[in-house]
Amino acid sequence: MSKVIIIGAGGVGTVVAHKVAQNHAVFTEIMLASRTLSKCDAIACAIGNKYGNRTIQTAQVDADNVAELVDLFRKFHPELVINVALPYQDLTIMDACLEAGVNYLDTANYEPKNEAKFEYKWQWAYQDRFTKAGLTAILGCGFDPGACSVFTAYAAKHHFSRMDYLDIVDCNAGDHGKAFATNFNPEINIREVTQKGRYWENGKWIVTEPHEIHRPLTYPNIGDKESYVIYHEELESLVKNFPTLKRARFWMTFGQEYLTHLRVIQNIGMARIDPVLYKGVEIVPIQFLKAVLPDPGGLGADYTGETSIGCRIKGLDNAGKELAYYIYNNCKHQDAYAETGAQGVSYTTGVPATIGALMFAKGFWRKPGVFNVEEFDPDPFMEQMNVQGLPWHEVFNPV
């Protein structure tokens, strides 16, 4: 029924390849393309015909190069690109989609390489072009952004007449057994967590020092974990799409060991994103650091524990009474690994990306233009979360 191309063969790409292959009644032809062909081949080979479908085709592509992408799209004729390469490639892939007439989905907003800036403005600027071309672009379809944004839309649709306060709470209570490792691409992750904190309150952004606001939050099946307010990209679209929100924050758990390593990395200059001259060659310290840190895609085998990610929302219910609501998913790293060979953070990102692709293929999320996921009907997506491996739970007025 639908031809799909996945770009990026890292941890998230591995999960998307598995989940898309599992849904072969919908995705009848699949291609996995990335910078390093051998990584695509290894993933395609590990999947084989495990799910009873034809093999996944593979290709080498430099996603920074629009002409190469267009050439590949014109040869394969996909209906949809699932972009799980890096945020740096978002705009080149969107440009190629417009040129070759392909629809687009990603899990992280565009970032310029030379500045750690998380804003949708660059991708929202494609609105007219996608609309005129009759193509759909689905932005931010991982877990956060992604499933959490859909959770918020679901809460607004079914439970609230007015939402006042939103807290997205992201806990990874897993243990990978390494002294220090990041759960997804180290360069992107460290850029994200070392920036200043920022949250929305009474119509404006409040900026804090990195990790300035923190407190223990209680996570289901996990208990209390110190959680830190950091800026996260979905806050920008959520406060725009749900304008009654008086406050919107994003909390993430970090262990003391992780924060100590992070501080050292920053203090010695290894988190720098500007080039430095080393023996006559320009290197970017954070890119060098990525090369020596554990590969997040390889953390799965020894990973124990689970993630718990969700939304805590307060406001007025449909009868005008005060309501506190919590919706979340817990995902065990070992279950994710047993199914796909990848750890829970890759899994919780790759499964929603696949569900977004399913939403597009089935016509539920298909309209010309550029959209954040909360702008679509949340119901069919929520239904598939339960089917595809990320069941969710609701708590009303938690004590």
Positions in the binding site for ligand NDP (CB under 6 A): 8-13, 34-36, 39, 61-64, 84-87, 89, 107-108, 142-146, 184-185, 188, 296-297, 345-346, 349
Comparing CB distances to ligand NDP, the nearer of 14 and 103 is 14
The CB-of-84 to ligand NDP minimum distance in angstroms stands at 5
Q: Say how far apart CA 249 and CA 144 lie, in whole Å.
A: 12
Q: In whole angstroms, how close is the CB of 31 to ligand NDP at the nearest point?
A: 13
Q: Which of 170, 204, 203, 149 is nearest to 371 (CA)?
A: 149
Please work out, in degrees rounded to the nearest 5, the angle formed at the alpha carbon of residue 108 by the alpha carbons of 103 and 111.
Answer: 105
Tell me if 279 sits within 8 A of 261, measured CB to CB. Answer: no
For ligand NDP, the closer CB: 93 or 239: 93
The Cα–Cα gap between 313 and 161 comes to 12
Helix (H) or strand (E) holding 396: strand 393-396
Give the tokens for residue 279: 């023996």
CA–CA dist 63, 91 (Å, integer): 10
* In the complex, least distance from residue 140 CB atom to ligand NDP, rounded to whole angstroms: 6
Radius of gyration of the chain, Cα coordinates, nearest whole angstrom: 20
**Between 69 and 265, CB nearer to ligand NDP:** 69
Considering the complex, what minimum distance in angstroms separates the CB of residue 38 from ligand NDP? 9
Nearer to ligand NDP, 146 or 315 (CB): 146
- In angstroms, give the least distance from the CB of 346 to ligand NDP: 6
Residue 134 gets the label, from left (phi > 0), alpha (psi -120 to 50) or beta, of left
Toward ligand NDP, which CB reaches closer, 315 or 344?
344
As measured in angstroms, the least distance from the Cβ of 6 to ligand NDP is 10
Choice between 130 and 143, CB closer to ligand NDP: 143
Helices (H) then strands (E): counts for the chain: 14, 18
Nearest CB to ligand NDP, comparing residues 89 and 253? 89
Question: Sign of the CA dihedral 85, 90, 92, 94?
Answer: positive
Least Å from the CB of residue 90 to ligand NDP: 8
